[in-house]
Amino acid sequence: MEFFEQNGNCLIFRENGETVEVAPWGESSLRVRASFLGEIEEGSIALLEPEETDVKISTGEWEASIQNGNITAVLKVQPWGHALQICFYDQNGKLLLQEIPNGGALQKKARQFTPLPGGGYELRASFVSDPEEKLYGMGQYQQEVMNLKGCNLELAHRNSQASIPFYVSSLGYGFLWHNAAVGTVHFGRNTTEWVAACTMQLDYWITAGERPAQIVEAYAHATGTAPMMPEYGLGFWQCKLRYFNQDQVLSIAQEYKKRDIPVDVLVIDYYHWPRCGDWRFDEEYFPDPADMVARLHEMGIETMVSIWPQVDWRSENYEEMKQKGLLVKSNAGVDVQMVFHGNNVFMDATNPRTREYVWEKVKKNYADLGIRTFWLDEAEPEFTTYDYGMYRYAAGPVAQVGNVYPREYARLFYEGQTETGQEDIVNLIRCAWVGSQRYGALVWSGDIMSSWEDFRKQICAGIHMGLCGIPWWTTDIGGFHGGATQDPAFRRLLVRWFQFGAFCPVMRLHGSRVPHEPIVNRAGEVREQTGADNEIWSFGEEAYPILVKFIRIREKMRDYTRSLMREAHEKGSPVMRALFYEFPQDAKTWDITDSYLYGPDILVAPVCREGEMKRNVYLPKGASWIHAGSGEEYAGGSWYEVEAPLDTLPVFLRDAKQSYLIGMI
């Protein structure tokens, strides 16, 4: 019998209806695809076409191998049942990852295709788990967990959850589940199991690297890097729920200018439109938006406007979009996919005709006024019940391709802006998937609570996002829900969060502050409410000078931040980095959950527990560290208890670099 064949630079296995192909896909990387009762489907939902590499393939009767740079896949046919097992090794012969064996009489399958009524398969792919292995990445999950070993994760998007199925392993490899289907992954002690609810074939990508940076850079090369961050992405952004009229927007901007506090972007939040799906300003509240934008530009401030993908049944565009087939469809029943200020359906961002139609409206009503940056909210999209099997996109059933939606939403705007000649594009968005970064996606962590627990979760989320290809990430400083502007306890939380925000890829103040104020238009219709004040002078006399201080620190770091953004653009490097990213040889760095590196040189240890005025900080081995406040030098490789009164936080400078910060913090 001949199980194996070589086709060009690919190794192919066939047996009993299954076809498996292993192909080189970038430097020291392999792509594995498998189909059942059919040929391998060509194309790629996220991976870019690779450059050619030198490949070595050998085939025997029961075993074959393919080597691409520092990674080798060995394919073994197991005698009982002729099941195939694939094992991956690095250049030194160390085992990185292996599919499960069939277990002899157990007759297990590493790739289990279960047919579904109507076509497609439920797919389960199983790998042997090394219990000592540590895993990082996978996107944004609201949990205070760094090492993901032992976690069960939903492969689906929700408000504040972004599923990006790529991880970095402490064993020296990175793994991408190259499948946009809704599903789950179980990182168990005995096995790792990936499950796709509905798919046509197995598809995954694996790369080998001696350092986490090599792995992340290989992944970025395979899936794309972010554009260069524009200059207005480097400073402070002001936002709240919500500036509901033109006069309010301009008065806030003027107050910042009067106080000589730099603001790069001022954000106009949702329901500045008449109905969802109108994609234009409501004339009652914004009678002359062109003049508003021009006046903000004169003050050196960019205008960002919120965009929602919902289309209200009463929208001026609904009937046309329905007739043209530009909307997400429910598989049965009435097309109501979200109820909020009316019955709403989602525009179908996976449909290129939809992307063209919506951009035409956005260009006319926003971009032509001088607005260059957009806030793409509801990007999951936020189906009210998250019944993923209920809906269908032009690209296919949501169960099969649903996770691609936020990337295509970002693509809509990026391609439209590019066509108008805009460069260095950044758009704020609430979700992401593999490749979102190449469409200028700045992901924020969603409608999180204003709590210390949620604050700590964001530190983990930001680190994980950077490791899976999303270097541009931010939070609502202070959290979104539940913060009372006049509450002393909330003010302390906001100050600590603001300090953290100064050392995030983008520094943005936002939140739905209480108490809220109702808004009723001239016709007597209740509009979306506005929250309490959320400017830096809104939180009392003690907080104000601290917040000003950290905006000044952010400004002082502008050149450094710009260099980090260029590195992200050129190599895919995270801006917000796990300690092990720079210090992988220090075993202790792989377990730190509450501190990180802002680029290579600045270690940030947020004060993220209520009432803390000091905290323990681990400084990695392999560098000396300067306390940015006192200028005192500390040796790496030890824990230190560091004082942290409310007006400061522990920040350490690696090998005395970025010394201009000494005494500022």
Are residues 46 and 131 part of one domain?
Answer: yes
Judge whether 634 lies within some domain.
Answer: yes
Are residues 273 and 193 part of one domain?
Answer: no
For residue 421 the two structure tokens come to 């000649």
Among 380, 382, 454, 586, the active-site one is 380
Report which of 71, 170, 173, 145 is spatially closest to residue 583, judged by C-alpha positions: 170
pLDDT digits (tens, 9 = 90+) for 400-449: 999 999 999 999 999 999 999 999 999 999 999 999 999 999 999 999 99
When divided into structural domains, the chain yields a total of: 3
Judge whether 395 lies within some domain.
Answer: no
Q: Residue 623 maps to which CATH number?
A: 2.60.40.1180
Are residues 440 and 522 part of one domain?
Answer: yes
Positions of the chain with pLDDT lower than 70, given as ranges: none
Are residues 495 and 554 part of one domain?
Answer: yes
Are residues 542 and 655 part of one domain?
Answer: no
Judge whether 394 lies within some domain.
Answer: no
Alpha-carbon separation of residue 606 from 74, 133, 485 (angstroms) = 45, 27, 21
Q: What is the DSSP string of 22-48?
A: EEE-STTEEEEEEEESSPPPP--SSPP
Residue 1's pLDDT is what?
A: 74
CA distance linking residue 627 with residue 658, whole number of Å = 11
Report which of 506, 478, 604, 441 is spatially closest to residue 235, judged by C-alpha positions: 506
Which residue's structure tokens are 């290989």? 218
CA distance linking residue 193 with residue 204, whole number of Å = 13
Residue 118's pLDDT is what?
A: 85
Which of 193, 223, 253 finishes a domain? 223
Q: What angle do CA 429, 431, 434 make, to 5 degrees?
A: 115
Judge whether 323 lies within some domain.
Answer: no
Measured N-to-C along each axis, helices 558-571 and 543-556 cross at an angle, to the nearest 10 degrees, of 60
Whether the CB-CB separation of 348 and 309 falls below 8 Å is answered with no
Whether the CB-CB separation of 70 and 91 falls below 8 Å is answered with yes
Domain span at residue 554 reads 231-308+349-383+401-571
Are residues 270 and 154 part of one domain?
Answer: no
Judge whether 337 lies within some domain.
Answer: no
Judge whether 331 lies within some domain.
Answer: no
CA distance linking residue 495 with residue 505, whole number of Å = 18
Are residues 541 and 601 part of one domain?
Answer: no
Which residue's structure tokens are 């009937």? 319
Is residue 447 part of the annotated active site? The answer reads: yes
Are residues 414 and 534 part of one domain?
Answer: yes
pLDDT digits (tens, 9 = 90+) for 633-658: 999 999 999 999 999 999 999 999 99
Residue 81's pLDDT is what?
A: 85
Judge whether 420 lies within some domain.
Answer: yes
Are residues 540 and 421 part of one domain?
Answer: yes
Residue 543's pLDDT is what?
A: 98
CA distance linking residue 42 with residue 24, whole number of Å = 14
Residue 13's pLDDT is what?
A: 97
Among 122, 210, 447, 528, the active-site one is 447
Judge whether 542 lies within some domain.
Answer: yes
Q: What is the DSSP string of 174-214?
A: EEEE---S-EEEEE-SSEEEEEEEEESSEEEEEEE-SSHHH
Are residues 199 and 254 part of one domain?
Answer: no
Prediction pTM value = 0.97
Greatest C-alpha distance within the chain = 82
CA distance linking residue 553 with residue 470, whole number of Å = 24
Are residues 64 and 193 part of one domain?
Answer: yes
Among 377, 382, 454, 586, the active-site one is 377
Report which of 13, 32, 14 is spatially closest to residue 22, judged by C-alpha positions: 32
Q: Residue 465 maps to which CATH number?
A: 3.20.20.80
Which of 170, 201, 223 finishes a domain? 223
Are residues 181 and 38 part of one domain?
Answer: yes
CA distance linking residue 174 with residue 166, whole number of Å = 7
Report which of 473, 471, 475 is spatially closest to residue 450, judged by C-alpha positions: 475
CA distance linking residue 624 with residue 636, whole number of Å = 5
Is residue 193 part of the annotated active site? The answer reads: no
Q: Residue 32 maps to which CATH number?
A: 2.60.40.1760
Which residue's structure tokens are 């209200």? 312
Is residue 380 part of the annotated active site? The answer reads: yes
Which of 536, 571, 606 finishes a domain? 571
Q: What angle do CA 13, 18, 21 make, to 5 degrees?
A: 40
Residue 67's pLDDT is what?
A: 98
